[in-house]
Amino acid sequence: MDSRVTEFITSKEKWTQELIHMRTILMQLPLEETIKWGSPTYSYKGKNVVSIAAFKNHFGLWFFQGGLLKDKAKVLRNAQEGKTQAMRQMRLVAASEIKEDIIKGYILEAIDNIEAGKEIKPKRTTKPLLIPDLLNEVFTKNEDIKIAFNEFTKSKQRDFADHIFGAKRETTKLSRLEKIIPMILRGEGLHDKYKNC
């Protein structure tokens, strides 16, 4: 057992007992426990299988390759409809919803999929790179930022652009722009801090 997972679980004001119960179930399976992306994550032969998490109104399991699961019990939902092909979540709102046989069955199926080499790979995007007006204005005023930005791969440039485009309010767009400018100058991609997790 990873002590960081114990800390994660005991730090929660809500769902502590439910997380302990789910962890007990997961630890009965041939999974390796660690922390990734700030959450307890369980892997098999180096491949991520499932993560547990707790939020204000629910807790649950996130299956990394859940799109491959048959979902016979009809308990999985797409983690981000329209954005993710692989990730599926099992949201729970009460301890009574934790069904050990279902959870174990889904995880064993996920392990079988890993053994069979099945995997949903992200689709490569071919859409053109659009730069937000706010970022273009920064490039006009500061050539160093433009040069640093152009040194990134197209996918990392798209991450920055989408981050700004994704904000609805102008104030949010401006605060996101302020956040990414130092990252661009350091040569640090928007999601680089997660790549070695």
Percent of the chain with pLDDT over 90: 65
Domains of the chain listed by start with CATH number: 3-115 (3.90.1150.200), 133-194 (no CATH)
Give the 3-state secondary structure of residue 9: helix
197 pLDDT tier (thresholds 50, 70, 90): very low
Instruction: Provide the 10 A C-beta neighbour count for residue 140.
Output: 10
- Strand 77-78 and strand 88-92: the pairing is antiparallel
**Would strands 59-63 and 88-92 be described as parallel, antiparallel, or unpaired?**
antiparallel
Alpha carbons 3 and 75: distance in angstroms, whole number? 30
Name the pTM for this structure.
Answer: 0.62
Higher pLDDT, 145 or 83: 145
Structure tokens at 37: 């992306």
- Where helices occur in the chain by DSSP H, the ranges are 3-10, 16-26, 100-115, 133-141, 143-150, 154-165, 170-186
CA distances from 69 to 65, 115, 152, 172 (A): 7, 14, 36, 37
Look at residue 50 and give its three-state secondary structure. strand
* Beta bridge partner(s), residue 39: 36
Residue pair 80/113 in contact by the 8 Å Cβ criterion: no
pLDDT of residue 139: 92
Residue 192 pLDDT class (50, 70, 90 cuts)? confident
125, 116 Cβ separation under 8 angstroms: no
